[in-house]
């Protein structure tokens, strides 16, 4: 336990400057109480829950459902979930403070022993698609469309903004454009919102198979997913 205390203190020392020390001194603990409607505890959980639900396009929960379920998960919140949340929060603060990579830590936690070990993460691997264009496994490209945008709009975005030549387009396992059987000249006028089955304010992720030039026969690996947003 002494070792864990030292590790936590070391993490706090990395974060504290004059301004953040003042903020940390203003923090105080709160005891979760789901039956007091004036303290806002259930309101926060309700909001966070439905933000996550929307992210995964699931059915939203009303406040009373959240209140009932929150009362049953307190034992879980007091153990591993709380520890992991705390470690994630520490790393999130480092991102906000724009610290260097050497200041971040990967955490390995086993509360059955108990043991907490931290290690320095390595830099993310970069993959070169072509000269002047590198991506990582965390990258995703983004395009915003409206009801009038066509399939050619997507192809033009990839060619002009990324300098790549799109070949095939997939949404999950469903093919949207397949160069072996489709001609862009014949299909370029088709509406993207219909091809991707999007509603206003909706979005989806698509995979695009690309080459680095029209003359090349080599298919590029590690092309990021493209997030298509319909506004």
Residues 75 and 100 in one domain: yes
Residue 222 — very low, low, confident or very high, per pLDDT cuts 50/70/90?
very high
**Containing domain of residue 52, as a range?**
2-119
Reduced to 3 states, what is the DSSP secondary structure of residue 24? helix
Residue 19 — very low, low, confident or very high, per pLDDT cuts 50/70/90?
low
CA atoms within 13 A on the CB side of 59: 4
Residues 151 and 210 in one domain: yes
Averaged confidence pLDDT in the chain:
86
Residues 68 and 164 in one domain: no
C-beta of residue 141 within 8 angstroms of C-beta of residue 132: no
Closest alpha carbon to 105 in 205, 15, 41: 15
Residues 9 and 114 in one domain: yes
CA atoms within 13 A on the CB side of 222: 13
Residues 83 and 131 in one domain: no
CA distances from 177 to 143, 181, 191, 204, 228 (A): 17, 9, 12, 16, 15
Q: Over the stretch 49-84, which tens digit does the pLDDT of each residue have?
A: 899 888 888 889 888 888 887 766 666 666 787 888
Q: Hey, what are 167's tokens?
A: 């070949």
- Number of independent structural domains in the chain: 2
The span from the CA of 190 to the CA of 112, in Å, is 57
Q: Which of 2-11, 83-92, 117-126 has the lowest mean pLDDT?
A: 2-11
pTM confidence score: 0.63
C-beta of residue 147 within 8 angstroms of C-beta of residue 191: yes
Residues 141 and 114 in one domain: no
Determine how many CB atoms are found less than 10 A away from the CB of residue 78. Answer: 11
Pairing of β 226-230 and β 141-145: parallel
Residues 108 and 202 in one domain: no
Report the CATH number at residue 154: 3.10.290.60
């Amino acid at each position: 336990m002494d070792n864990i205390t030292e590790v936590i203190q070391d993490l706090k020392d990395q974060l504290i400057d004059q301004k953040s020390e003042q903020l940390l001194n203003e923090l105080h603990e709160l005891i979760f109480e789901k039956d007091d409607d004036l303290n806002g505890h259930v309101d926060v959980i309700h909001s966070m829950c439905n933000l996550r639900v929307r992210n995964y396009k699931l059915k939203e929960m009303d406040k009373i459902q959240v209140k009932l379920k929150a009362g049953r998960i307190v034992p879980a919140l007091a153990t591993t979930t709380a520890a992991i949340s705390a470690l994630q929060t520490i790393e999130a603060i480092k991102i906000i403070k724009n610290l260097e990579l050497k200041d971040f830590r990967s955490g390995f936690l086993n509360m059955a022993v108990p043991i907490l070990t931290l290690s320095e993460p390595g830099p993310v691997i970069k993959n070169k698609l072509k000269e002047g264009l590198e991506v990582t496994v965390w990258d995703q490209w983004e395009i915003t469309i409206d009801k009038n945008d066509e399939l050619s709009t997507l192809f033009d975005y990839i060619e002009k903004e990324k300098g790549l030549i799109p070949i095939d387009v997939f949404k999950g396992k469903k093919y949207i454009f397949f160069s072996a059987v489709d001609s862009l000249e014949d299909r370029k006028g088709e509406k993207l919102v219909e091809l991707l089955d999007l509603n206003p304010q909706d979005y989806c992720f698509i995979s695009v198979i690309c080459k680095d030039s029209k003359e090349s026969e080599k298919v590029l690996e590690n092309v990021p997913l493209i997030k298509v947003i319909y506004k």
